[in-house]
Chain A
């Protein structure tokens, strides 16, 4: 069965939505993503621009302020629900994988 858009989120998508749980503008979103992910995930301005456009057209985020070319976005209720579903999905995946990757089976893996 074909996957619907945003049925599962990629890492950049996930962290951008996390960053937009508080009002945030373009450049600040990139910085917040790096902070939240402890510099593990970086989002380039081109990728961010495209994803913000997709999120806005899907009504997962909304523009709450505009100062010249600087636009501030915030998560909508639909975006929050999507984020929560993704979090639950990721948590389930981690929980289901944990016993399979226990130290008895993979001694070198430390969970």
Chain B
């Protein structure tokens, strides 16, 4: 026969009476509660079946949730002990007592004050939940809607938004359902419809409890799937580099350690760290996700030639725009002054001189470090020239590249050339001949020629 039982508790703070009845019912079956976790799981131990009186009390000044309360909570427990109430366990501000007396004096004899305290704590919890959800939606709306944010997450990460929305809706539904059940139960009691079992235990609504438990199971499963989907999509589908993810996770770990340090040194709640380890790990993962934009911005600034404003990887410096320079001159400049090149963060600007005709063609190019598909999406979105995109066969022959797209503006011709693992965005006046394309290739990738 097992001596430990784990059950999931759907009771809210304002359902302390139902919770007491449930505990009394369990004690008559030979189970005594020993622990309440933050996730709402109840731990019972085996004992001789007998009827016990329980009191689920809300102590507003409680600041600990483990089995060794300190300070004012310990004083309060000591006072209750003097009145015949033995402290069993607690979670947050909820303290659970039991009394061996047949008719003990209730811990709270002022019913009105008790109701005020419970409702106040319940509404604070609801308010915190609502604030968290609102903050969450604001953050995601900002990330997905603001094009100046610097980068955009993968389109597939919208799956995480869907799951997160379901999670938020189910969370609100859970609160509404719980409160509705509570109100219905109160009205049933007031009208005398509640049934009484042996020993005076009033039957709580078993059907509603099963429904509420299922809502919670779906809620947690949705949350779990949503978080996994978010991380998988960010890793496989977005243009964020792996070291950006690592940096975000490191920042999350730092946040986790700061929380642990605060709890250990300032609050001296060693046991709380152990018992809430799972919740802290969840906070660490969520923090890593939220801190990713910051990490991405930091990593972009560290890129050689990165302009710090987007995913462009620039390899040149702003040359004197009035000086007629050839590609050879530009490359010489970049080659001789690497320090300036690295610190400049300017888009390359050079002029290509056709050595045969003598015409000068102003050009600008940038080399992207991101995936080609992402760059193309950015180009379509920013340039809004999706209708002008066509495949250029000449670039294919000259460079042997896999995909080339061309956009023709009023005075500029723009090429997006994917060559091996880089993408070049080349904007030039007029058009380039096949020979000129080969010369550019030789300059950019001399080792490949």
Residues in A lying within 8 Å of B, measured CB to CB: 10, 12, 26-27, 30, 42-50, 69-71
Contact = CB atoms under 8 A, between A and B. Distances in A.
B82 interface: yes
Interface stretch (B107-115, B285-293, B305-313, B376-384): B107-115
A44 B78 contact: no
B108 A26 contact: no
B162 interface: no
B113 A45 contact: no
A44 B82 contact: no
Given A69-B74, A69-B75, A45 B80 contact: yes
B57 A46 contact: yes
A47 B113 contact: yes
Contacts of A43: 105, 109
B76 interface: yes
Size range of the chain B interface in the assembly:
10 to 19
Closest 4 CB pairs of A and B: A27-B82, A44-B109, A46-B107, A46-B108
B75 A44 contact: no
A16 to B, nearest CB: 11
B106 interface: yes
Given A26-B82, A27-B79, A44 B74 contact: no
Nearest to A71: B75
Contacts of B74: 69
18 contacts: A10-B110, A12-B110, A26-B79, A27-B83, A30-B83, A42-B109, A43-B109, A44-B83, A44-B108, A45-B80, A45-B83, A45-B85, A46-B76, A47-B107, A47-B108, A49-B75, A50-B110, A70-B78
A44 B113 contact: no
Contacts of A26: 79, 82
A30 B79 CA distance: 10
Nearest to A48: B79
Contacts of B106: 44
Contacts of A44: 83, 105-110
A27 B81 CA distance: 9
Interface of B: 57, 59, 74-76, 78-80, 82-83, 85, 105-110, 113-114
Residue of A43, A46, A70 contacting most chain B CB atoms (<10 Å): A46
A19 to B, nearest CB: 14
A78 B147 CA distance: 66
B78 A46 contact: no
Nearest to A34: B105
Nearest to B59: A46
A69 B109 contact: no
Contacts of B59: 46
Contacts of B107: 44-47
Contacts of B76: 45-46, 49
A28 to B, nearest CB: 9
A46 B80 contact: yes
Contacts of A45: 76, 79-80, 82-83, 85, 107
A50 B113 contact: yes
A57 to B, nearest CB: 13
A82 to B, nearest CB: 18
A3 to B, nearest CB: 14
A24 B107 CA distance: 19
Contact of B105 (A10, A42, A69, A71): A42
B272 to A, nearest CB: 22
A66 to B, nearest CB: 10
Given A30-B82, A44-B107, 19 more contacts: A12-B109, A26-B79, A27-B82, A30-B83, A42-B109, A44-B105, A45-B79, A45-B80, A45-B82, A45-B85, A45-B107, A46-B57, A46-B76, A46-B108, A47-B113, A49-B75, A49-B79, A50-B113, A71-B75
A30 B105 contact: yes
Contacts of B110: 10, 12, 44, 47, 50
A71 B82 CA distance: 13
A70 B105 CA distance: 20
A45 B87 CA distance: 13
Contacts of A71: 75
